[in-house]
Amino acid sequence: MTREEDIKKAVEVLRKGGVILYPTDTVWGIGCDATNAEAVAKVYQIKQRDDSKAMICLVDSAMRMQRYVRNVPNVAWDLVELATKPTTLILDDAVNLAPNLIAEDGSVALRVTAEPFSKELCYRFQKALVSTSANISGQPAASNYKDISEELLNAVDYVCWSRRQEHKPHTPSCIIKLNKDGEVTVIRK
């Protein structure tokens, strides 16, 4: 299967409200349409995770962040441009997303991916994509395809073919919270 065919199939599943397993700029992820509350609920169920714990969303460009955050702070643009490793930003005033994806304080965790597969997937889907680590809550994240449990492989609607052969270390993203008042808090380095 070519990368293009893989992305096309994944997008078809996402548009129907399905859940996918896919490679990201960090670890393998469980993903769905970030605007579809039913799909987001499925991801929480698959991960056996409390829905009060927020999940990260991936987008293909810094400009797309504006669709999901009412007022993107100026420092966010700089962080996206200057980041040397995958960096997730927690931003206030989330909009146009599934309500069960927005944290109680109204914030959302967004990451602009530069990794070719996930970037193209987000671009072709034209929406934010949930990107939570491919594991049951509390278990280690799946760095590579080989690390994903059978339980997860069987729980999703589609498992992407791209990058399945990789066997190299991947780490979760850095997480930085940016408040409206300009306060910056590093949550995970």
Taking only the tens place, the pLDDT of each residue in 159-187 is 999 999 998 888 889 999 998 777 889 99
The top-level CATH class assigned to 3-188 is: alpha beta
Q: What is the pLDDT of residues 77-90, one digit of tens each?
A: 999 999 999 999 99
- The per-residue pLDDT for 54 is 82
Q: What is the mean pLDDT of the chain?
A: 94
What is the radius of gyration, based on Cα positions, of the chain? 15
- The per-residue pLDDT for 155 is 97
- The per-residue pLDDT for 150 is 95
pLDDT at 6 over 90: yes
Q: Where are the domains of the chain?
A: 3-188
CB-based contacts of 112, cutoff 8 Å, min separation 6 = 58, 59, 60, 61, 62, 64, 65, 80
CA distances, 188 to each of 32, 48, 50, 171, 185 (Å): 24, 22, 20, 11, 9
Q: Which of 6, 46, 66, 76 is nearest to 156 (CA)?
A: 46
- The per-residue pLDDT for 168 is 85
Q: What is the pLDDT of residues 84-138, one digit of tens each?
A: 999 999 999 999 999 999 999 999 999 999 999 999 999 999 999 999 999 998 8
Q: What is the pLDDT of residues 24-51, one digit of tens each?
A: 999 999 999 999 999 999 999 999 988 7
- The per-residue pLDDT for 93 is 95
pTM score > 0.85 for this model?
A: yes
User: Coil, strand, or helix at residue 135?
Assistant: coil
* Six-digit token string for 87: 């960096």
